[in-house]
């Protein structure tokens, strides 16, 4: 695949950024029908050329096994007929979503007759840096194209052959519908240099979306001059208020912790109001333990529920991604919000309470992307919120916060229509 790209004269990472930028101007004026046709062609081509992709994937898998990659990471890397079919389906699901490009955000007619319209436009070129998961290659490409953007991918050296094969399939499919093949680029084969070039490509790349571990995201945030949307890390808290209903508390904590553990919206810390701890902790702990959850508890919790692991600061900071939960008894609502302010990653926090006063204070004062009353934290999700696509969950405050839909992959532009107006 490398040869194919080099044959096209895109020998450096910067060449590819320029090619993506050039393609982005064509994409930005393509109609939704044209972009959807391109995506449908991609879905078709993934199925038609799956053998080619699987063969390339086999090269990556052989190298991964030889280098002793863990079974979990090898599984994430693996593509087979079934998974490729699922990727094609996911592309078609994105085709069916409403198109954000050209949406009118607001507008007005000024006293002098000037007509102002603020419309959604594509960013231009979106960069993505992620780990060795070839499904992300297809997913982020489809989301970018649907929102009118070109994309430059840097997907982890361990998936290099798979990604190159996928990108070749995608480029050919785009070209077959008259869209520019250059709209999808990869810089995988440049290794770390490719990632570094992508992070410094301000002016050619308009937005960078890191997806993966907290370490990867931090490295991108700190090393990038291109604007970044930070996604992911969730040290998610559930607080059981003094008035919490015990059945609701058990149900929400159990769901938030055990429904799916290796996701960012799973609960990682449980806080319990001291005045209700003796009432709530025993049934909640019993339900969690029955579900296989290991509790890492402070002394006040251990005084009520015996034989628990002792929690340290590492537990309050932990995004376990496993059947582990940190538990603390806190004096009151203020102490709970203080703990959250100290340890939260500002993703999602929930309170279980019957008190409208506690509920409204929690909603107003907790500084997280999503703040919930009497609901499982697992609802922080683009699909659950009705956005259709899962672009990611932003934990930053600029541009997008919380679950991101396709519209978060767009910028805006002001259109001003006049009849010769000048300023007096």
Binding site for its own copies (CB under 8 A): 25, 28-29, 108, 110, 114, 116, 118, 121, 123-124, 202, 206-207, 221-222, 225, 227-229, 245, 248, 251-252, 254-256, 259, 341, 359, 363-365, 367-376, 378-380, 384-386, 396-399, 401-403, 411-423
Count CB atoms within 10 A of the CB of residue 90. Answer: 18
Q: Compare residues 177 and 374 and give the one whose CB is closer to its own copies.
A: 374
Contact between residue 367 and residue 346 where contact means Cβ atoms under 8 Å apart? yes
d(CA 288, CA 313): 21
Q: Compare residues 114 and 286 and give the one whose CB is closer to its own copies.
A: 114
Contact between residue 266 and residue 377 where contact means Cβ atoms under 8 Å apart? yes
d(CA 277, CA 328): 10
Q: What is the dihedral of CA 326, 394, 380, 269, to 10 degrees?
A: 10
Compute the least distance from the CB of residue 406 to its own copies, in Å.
14
Q: Compare residues 60 and 319 and give the one whose CB is closer to its own copies.
A: 319
Q: What is the DSSP string of 53-98?
A: HHHHHHHHHHHHHHTT--HHHHHHH---HHHHHHHHHHHHHHHTSP
Compute the least distance from the CB of residue 409 to its own copies, in Å.
11
H-helix or E-strand spanning residue 384: none
Compute the least distance from the CB of residue 383 to its own copies, in Å.
11
Compute the least distance from the CB of residue 164 to its own copies, in Å.
29
Q: Compare residues 55 and 416 and give the one whose CB is closer to its own copies.
A: 416
The residue assigned the tokens 């992709």 is 53
Query: Which residues does residue 210 pair with via DSSP β-bridges, in sequence order?
Result: 129
Compute the least distance from the CB of residue 376 to its own copies, in Å.
4
Q: Compare residues 242 and 349 and give the one whose CB is closer to its own copies.
A: 349
Q: Compare residues 255 and 269 and give the one whose CB is closer to its own copies.
A: 255
Compute the least distance from the CB of residue 1 to its own copies, in Å.
30
Identify the DSSP state of 322: S
Q: Compare residues 55 and 105 and give the one whose CB is closer to its own copies.
A: 105
H-helix or E-strand spanning residue 223: helix 214-223
Compute the least distance from the CB of residue 401 to its own copies, in Å.
5
Q: What is the DSSP string of 121-178?
A: EE-SEEEEEE-S-HHHHHHHHHHHHHTT-EEEEE--GGGHHHHHHHHHHHHHHHHHTT
Q: What is the dihedral of CA 388, 392, 396, 400, to 10 degrees?
A: -30
Compute the least distance from the CB of residue 302 to its own copies, in Å.
27
d(CA 311, CA 15): 51
Compute the least distance from the CB of residue 131 to its own copies, in Å.
22
The residue assigned the tokens 């993966």 is 212
- The radius of gyration of the chain from alpha carbons, rounded to an integer in Å, stands at 24
d(CA 373, CA 361): 11
Compute the least distance from the CB of residue 227 to its own copies, in Å.
4
Q: Compare residues 312 and 421 and give the one whose CB is closer to its own copies.
A: 421
Identify the DSSP state of 25: H
Q: Compare residues 29 and 312 and give the one whose CB is closer to its own copies.
A: 29
Q: Compare residues 178 and 383 and give the one whose CB is closer to its own copies.
A: 383
Q: What is the DSSP string of 250-275?
A: HHHHHHHHHS-SSSTTSEEEEEEEGG
d(CA 87, CA 90): 5
């Amino acid at each position: 695949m490398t040869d194919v790209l080099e044959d096209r004269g895109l020998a450096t990472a910067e060449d590819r950024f320029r090619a993506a930028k050039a393609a982005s101007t064509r994409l930005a004026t393509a109609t939704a029908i044209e972009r959807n046709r391109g995506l449908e062609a991609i879905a078709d081509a993934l199925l038609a050329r799956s053998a080619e992709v699987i063969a390339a994937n086999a090269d990556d898998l052989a190298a991964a096994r030889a280098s002793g990659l863990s079974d979990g990471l090898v599984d994430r890397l693996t593509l087979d007929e079934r998974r490729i079919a699922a990727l094609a389906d996911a592309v078609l699901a994105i085709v069916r979503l409403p198109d954000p490009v050209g949406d009118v955000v607001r507008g007005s007619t000024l006293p002098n007759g000037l007509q102002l319209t603020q419309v959604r436009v594509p960013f231009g070129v979106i960069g993505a840096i992620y780990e060795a998961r070839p499904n992300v290659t297809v997913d982020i490409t489809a989301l970018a194209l649907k929102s009118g953007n070109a994309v430059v991918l840097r997907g982890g050296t361990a998936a290099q052959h798979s990604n190159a094969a996928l990108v070749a399939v995608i480029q050919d499919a785009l070209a077959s519908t008259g869209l520019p093949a250059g709209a999808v680029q990869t810089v995988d084969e440049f290794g770390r240099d490719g990632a570094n070039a992508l992070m410094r490509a301000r002016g050619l790349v308009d937005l960078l979306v890191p997806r993966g571990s907290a370490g990867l995201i931090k490295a991108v945030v700190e090393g990038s001059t291109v604007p970044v949307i930070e996604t992911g890390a969730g040290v998610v808290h559930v607080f059981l208020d003094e008035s919490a209903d015990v059945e609701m508390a058990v149900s929400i904590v159990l769901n938030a912790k055990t429904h799916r553990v290796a996701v960012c919206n799973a609960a990682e810390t449980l806080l319990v109001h001291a005045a209700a701890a003796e009432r709530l902790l025993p049934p909640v702990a019993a339900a969690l333990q029955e579900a296989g959850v290991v509790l890492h508890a402070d002394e006040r919790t251990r005084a009520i529920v015996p034989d628990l692991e002792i929690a340290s600061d590492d537990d309050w900071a932990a995004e376990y991604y496993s059947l582990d939960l940190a538990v603390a008894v806190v004096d009151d609502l203020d102490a709970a919000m203080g703990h959250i302010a100290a340890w939260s990653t500002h993703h999602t926090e929930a309170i279980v309470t019957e008190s409208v006063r506690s509920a409204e204070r929690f909603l107003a004062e907790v500084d997280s992307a999503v703040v919930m009353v009497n609901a499982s934290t697992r609802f922080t999700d683009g699909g659950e919120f009705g956005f259709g696509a899962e672009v990611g969950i932003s934990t930053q405050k600029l541009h997008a916060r919380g679950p991101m839909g396709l519209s978060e992959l767009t910028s805006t532009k002001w259109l001003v229509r006049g009849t010769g107006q000048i300023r007096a």
